[in-house]
Amino acid sequence: MVFGISPFGEKQGLTAEQPKHIITQIANIARDGLKPACQIEHAVVQLPSEGRVLLFVFIPESVEKPVHLRGKSLEHSFARSGGQTRKMDETEIRQALLSSRPQRFEELPVLASNITEVVDNMDLKPVCDRLGKPYSIDPEKLSEITIDLGFATRSREQIIPTFLGVIVAAKDFGRVPGCERYGVKVTQYAGTSKLSAQKEKIYTQGFVHSFDQIIEEIIGMVPHSEVIEKATRKRVPLYPVMALRELIANAVIHRDYSRTDSYVQIEIFEDRIEITNPGSLLPGMDVDRLIDQQPRARNEVLASRMRELGFCEERGSGIDKVAFELELYGLPAVAFENFADSFKAALFRPKDYKKMPHAERLRTAYQHTCLHYVMKKDVTNASLRERLKLSEGQSQLVSKLIRQCIESRLIKVANPGASPRYVRYIPIWA
């Protein structure tokens, strides 16, 4: 829309004071009078005539459609046609609904007082390197790359960074107001409690810069064991690196970024590693169904970008991969805890069956059953005995554990009536 044009198409212009009043009115309507609220952009252009200006107002297309009068039904949606404003008909409203989607958090613009500083705070070269995209230091080409990656949107006068760009590519979260705690805090403790912290480090860079560093730091902190591989002695970390990568990537991807009071926290104890992210599981998700769970992401665009960058597994397979790696390493099953405002995953050091708490035994048997069901493999007394590293002479211990899992409604018999030697088990939800 252009203000300052006569009905006959002549540039009459506005006084220097009028644009401010018009912008205030339009902004109030866009914010308070419409649902969803609309963003507006404007520019004031000086005319040759002394003291007169033109006001240009641009209203970007809303991704959520149709835009209608706040407090009214969808029938109060309007369209421009032939120079007139009219109500949309049912067909137009239906088409608008079909093309609508809610705007995701990562796509929102970062509203900072110094937009240029936020854009300059993003380093895109490692992103382009990982994605195999061309990189350029030419300002105009770099702007196009930034927009193409979804790291910024274009306005009339400049590009405006998105939260996706900050989360992935920021050189320092501390330079972006409101994003100071988007990083990861790694703490190593002496013993099994939080009484004595030995080492602490906070990573404040976007995850294309810091993710691999975080993994390397943790691997350097955890105990290692020596194995013989092809006649060569080598040291390997006690916890599977793949499982660590998946759980930390999940914490980064699924954290609630509207929470600005807490980091993703990785705490390393003598007997375990705990990974906690701000934000609980999404409604309808259950900690007991994370293996083979229908994939859902709080931050879907970020999840997609992290997969493209190679930081996590394909969609929906990450937790299954964690369970598989823990079985391969002979570690107890991962423990998930869902709280009102956070979510925690814990990995545990290997231990003998007799030293495993009852809940840990149940959890390991249950996740073994879930994983094998997904992999279309049979779960029997023998398979569970092998998972728990028990001998054939200890089959009665496994039989007792299986009965306890059935009583706890975690698993059930897949083939009722079969002889005890051939009984198979499946998850209770199968």
DSSP code string of 248-279: HHHHHHHS-TT--S--EEEEE-SSEEEEEEES
- The token pair that represents 140 in the structure block: 């105009």
What whole-number distance in Å separates Cα of residue 309 and Cα of residue 342? 26
Distances (CA, A) of 121 to 24, 169, 427: 31, 8, 49
Give me the residues paired with residue 264 across strands.
184
The pLDDT, as a whole number, for residue 77 is 92
Among residues 213, 207, 211, the alpha carbon closest in space to that of 167 is found at: 207
Instruction: Write the Ramachandran bin of 9: left for phi over 0, alpha for psi from -120 to 50, otherwise beta.
Output: left
Among residues 207, 92, 67, the alpha carbon closest in space to that of 151 is found at: 207
The separation between CA 335 and the C-alpha centre of its own chain, rounded to angstroms, equals 20
What whole-number distance in Å separates Cα of residue 131 and Cα of residue 307? 11
Per this entry, what is the length of the chain? Answer: 430
The pLDDT, as a whole number, for residue 292 is 78
φ and ψ of 168, to 5 deg? -85, -45
What whole-number distance in Å separates Cα of residue 198 and Cα of residue 202? 14
- Do residues 240 and 330 touch, judged by C-beta distance below 8 A? no
* Cα 65–Cα 66–Cα 70 angle in degrees, nearest 5: 115
What whole-number distance in Å separates Cα of residue 12 and Cα of residue 49? 9
What whole-number distance in Å separates Cα of residue 74 and Cα of residue 35? 10
The separation between CA 43 and the C-alpha centre of its own chain, rounded to angstroms, equals 36
Q: Does an H or E element contain 325, and which?
A: helix 318-329
What whole-number distance in Å separates Cα of residue 412 and Cα of residue 6? 79
| Alpha-carbon dihedral sign for residues 135, 141, 144, 150 | positive
What whole-number distance in Å separates Cα of residue 405 and Cα of residue 365? 8
What whole-number distance in Å separates Cα of residue 236 and Cα of residue 241? 9
- Do residues 351 and 344 touch, judged by C-beta distance below 8 A? no
As a whole number of Å, the CA-based R_g of the chain is 28
- Do residues 237 and 245 touch, judged by C-beta distance below 8 A? no
The pLDDT, as a whole number, for residue 229 is 62
Q: Are strands 184-189 and 264-268 parallel, antiparallel or unpaired?
A: parallel
- Residue 217 contacts by C-beta under 8 Å, 6 or more apart in sequence? 186, 201
- The token pair that represents 203 in the structure block: 């990573």
- Do residues 374 and 321 touch, judged by C-beta distance below 8 A? no
Among residues 95, 139, 92, the alpha carbon closest in space to that of 120 is found at: 139
Q: What is the residue-level pLDDT of the chain in tens, covering all 430 positions? A: 899 999 888 899 999 899 999 998 998 898 889 988 887 878 888 998 778 999 998 887 887 888 989 888 888 999 888 778 899 999 988 888 888 777 788 888 887 668 888 889 999 999 999 999 999 999 889 999 999 999 998 876 678 899 999 999 999 999 998 899 999 999 999 999 999 999 999 999 999 999 999 999 999 999 887 766 666 677 788 999 999 999 999 999 999 998 889 999 999 999 999 999 999 998 888 889 888 777 677 898 999 899 999 988 656 578 899 999 999 999 999 999 999 999 999 999 999 999 999 999 999 999 999 999 999 999 999 999 999 999 999 999 999 999 999 999 999 999 998 887 889 999 999 8
